[in-house]
Each structure stands twice: as structure tokens, then as C-alpha cells.
Amino acid sequence: MRILYINNSGGGYADYIDVSEGKTVEQFFKEQMP
């Protein structure tokens, strides 16, 4: 699945990210925001 990920930390950016099927929202955010 492809999502638009928006990060407002620091300068902020938005980019499309491919997310594997079956990944939970919790798993996704643990990877993106350690």
C-alpha cells in the first residue's frame, strides 16, 4: 500500500511511502518515529 506520510518535526516534509500488507499502524509509527 502506498501512503502519503507527513512529518512536521523540524523542517517538515511529506513523501509517499510504500507500506507492506499486514503492517499495523503501531508498527509503522515505531519505524518512522523511533
**How do residues 6-20 score in pLDDT, each as one tens digit?**
887 767 788 999 999
| Range of the structural domain that residue 17 is part of | 2-32
Largest CA distance in the chain: 31
Can you tell me whether residue 28 is helix, strand or coil? helix
Report the share of the chain in percent with pLDDT over 90. Answer: 53
pTM of the model: 0.61
Give the model's pLDDT for residue 18: 94
- Judge whether residue 1 has pLDDT over 80: yes
Give the model's pLDDT for residue 17: 92
Q: What is the mean pLDDT of the chain?
A: 88
Q: Residue type for 4, please?
A: L
- Domains in the chain, number: 1
Q: Are 14 and 7 in contact (CB under 8 A)?
A: yes
